[in-house]
Each structure stands twice: as C-alpha cells, then as structure tokens.
Amino acid sequence: MSGELQVTTYREALRAGLRDALLRDERVFLMGEDVGHYGGCFAVSRGLLAEFGSERIRDTPLAESGFVGAGIGAAMGGMRPVVEVMTCNFSLLALDQLVNNAATWLHMSGGQFPCPLVVRMATGGGKQLAAQHSHSFEGWFAHIPGLKILTPATLEDARGMLWTALQDPDPVLIFENQTLYPMEGSLAVDAGAVAISGARIHRGGADVTLITYGASLWKALAAASTLAEKGIDAEVIDLRSLRPLDDATILASVARTHRAVVVDEGWRSGGISAEIGMRIMESVFYQLDAPVARVCTAEVPIPYPKHLEEAALPQAVKIVETVERMMRHG
C-alpha cells in the first residue's frame, strides 16, 4: 500500500468495495430491495445505478425468498451475485433458500456445483428501529455448515471483505452492524481485498481477553481503555468471522491472559457466546483463573425507546463491570 490515507465512512468503504467488485468482474451484480433508484436503505449503493446501469444494479420486489433464490440460481449459473437483504430480520423470510439450498449444494453435488453467493445485510440494534429491524441473527446462521459468516467491524474490513467473499465457492453472509454505517475514520487510498479467515487482536493485554465482533468491538476497546485506568490490562479480539471461528487466536490469547469475556449483541441463550465459551472450556480449561463470562443482549425483543434499547444492548460500562467482578472473584 502507498501509505496515503483518506477520511471516509464505513458506508463509503462498503460502497468502494462494491464498486471495485463491479469493475473487476462483469459477472458481479447487486440485487435487493431499494438498492438502485433509492440508493440503498442505508445509502451504501448510492450512485451505483447511474454508473453501472439497471442490468447490474437490480431493484427487486419485497420478496426475500424470491430474490435470494434468484441469487442462488445466478451463482450456480456462473454469475457472481451480491444480494442485499435490508435487515437480518428479513433474512428469516429466505431461510429455506439459505439453509436448505445455498448451504447444501456443494455438499450434495459431491463438490461439483459450488454456490458462490454473497448476501449482505444490516444487523444489530442501537438505531431505534424497533424489534423487527434490530436483532442480531449472525449467531444463528453461524450454526449452519456450508455457510461462511463475516462481521466487518472496521473500515478496512468493510472495504476489503467483499471481493474475497466473491472468490469463495461457499455462500458467504456478511453482517454489517447498522450503527457502524456513519462511522468515520482513515483508510488507505489503495486499500483492497483482505483475508477473511482469521480473527485480529486490536489491543494486546495480559489480564483478560475480551472476545467480540461487529459494533461491539468499539465498545470492548472503550471498556479496555477504562479498565487500563483501573490497572487492568485487557486484550481485545475482533473475531471478524463467526464461521469459521479462529480457535487458534482465541485459545492462545486466553492461555496468556487466563480470563475471558465474550461480548455478543445476540441473545445469551443458545448464542455464539456459548459456543465460544465452550470451546475455551474444552481446550484451555486448566489455564483459566476464572469462569468464562458473557455480556449479551437482554432476553427481550429489542425495545424502541432509546433508553430501553441502550439498556438491553451490551455497553462498555457492562463490560467493565463484568471484568471488575471477574478480577475480584476470579
């Protein structure tokens, strides 16, 4: 890379990744609700219709099962579709297509028919969009063999994950936390594709490992700064991918710090946090100085009122309190 930086937003980084893919490969096209004339519900695809035309930026009816199914057919027919589902809540209308079809084709065909489909969707709460637009279902989809689940938290990953995902023979679901779209920061002018297979340590530490992804990364980093002022040195891991999980990075970190807190915007019961915690228990149990802890969303539909929504979601203060309690009793 040249080293030259530009100020941009998460939304603009995603758009740059889409534009790059469209320019690189004429088989790539974007389809979904309001992606064309409206410019995308979160303005990610704004301007792309004028540049690439309606053959490659396709507005669809409000029928997730239909247009996700069309994306599967296009992928298996040699195209490289990027399907946008407005929010992950609406992906439930396409569960049969995603779970029973896209995820299984490569396996059921004995490796003969890959399904290189990419599905992007907004996830998470924090924007007062109420219970039908604010949940976090990436942990659900991480349960399914045959799918890959990405959760870009940084501008670099927002810009670079898409092209790598399009090269994958498996369907890849990219979950973009909707609170991140306006996030501003610096990104290399010549930023490009990034690897999608590993977690990343954003802050080194010796006392406790904070394991998270998506928008919760920034809450974990804020919590780590507060903890540092209290003399507690927290390591922060951005998972980046929920399937596959980067066990090696997680386990090596916990073996060093001897404590782990998983921060997950999904619900606690049956969530990805339980899976991560169990993998730690199975592999580095005797390295632990305290039980694995979790900070998750409250077991309620996401509330609409701002103060209740904030109370329901993981926050930096909750992470700090959890770590302090662990340090006292661990």
- The span from the CA of 101 to the CA of 97, in Å, is 5
Instruction: Tell me which residue of 58, 55, 46 sits closest to 19, measured CA to CA.
Output: 46
| pLDDT tens digits, one per residue of 149-172 | 999 999 999 999 999 999 999 999
Q: How much is the average pLDDT of 128-150?
A: 96
Q: Is the pLDDT of residue 1 over 80?
A: no
Calculate the alpha carbon distances from 217 to 14, 163, 169, 212, 324 in Å: 18, 23, 28, 6, 19
| pLDDT tens digits, one per residue of 264-281 | 999 999 999 999 999 999
User: Are 238 and 202 a contacting pair, CB within 8 Å?
Assistant: yes
Instruction: Tell me which residue of 70, 145, 80 sits closest to 117, measured CA to CA.
Output: 80
User: Are 271 and 241 a contacting pair, CB within 8 Å?
Assistant: no
**Residue 4 annotated to the active site:** no
pLDDT at 185: 97
pLDDT at 2: 58
The residue annotated as part of the active site, out of 12, 33, 64, 138, is 64
| pLDDT tens digits, one per residue of 21-76 | 999 999 999 999 999 999 999 999 999 999 999 999 999 999 999 999 999 999 99
Tokens of 15: 């758009």
The residue annotated as part of the active site, out of 12, 33, 84, 133, is 133
Q: How much is the average pLDDT of 129-139?
A: 95
Residues sharing a CB contact under 8 Å with residue 251, sequence separation 6 or more, in sequence order: 279, 280, 283, 284
pLDDT at 79: 97
| pLDDT tens digits, one per residue of 180-228 | 999 999 999 999 999 998 999 999 999 999 999 999 999 999 999 999 9
Backbone angles phi, psi at 102, to 5 degrees: -55, -45
pLDDT at 330: 61
Longest CA–CA span in the chain (Å) reads 61
CA dihedral 184, 190, 191, 192 (to 10 degrees): 140
Domains and CATH numbers, the chain: 5-188 (3.40.50.970), 200-329 (3.40.50.920)
**Residue 64 annotated to the active site:** yes
- The span from the CA of 315 to the CA of 51, in Å, is 40
Reported pTM: 0.96
- The span from the CA of 48 to the CA of 54, in Å, is 9
- The span from the CA of 106 to the CA of 179, in Å, is 34
| pLDDT tens digits, one per residue of 282-309 | 999 999 999 999 999 999 999 999 999 9
Residues sharing a CB contact under 8 Å with residue 12, sequence separation 6 or more, in sequence order: none
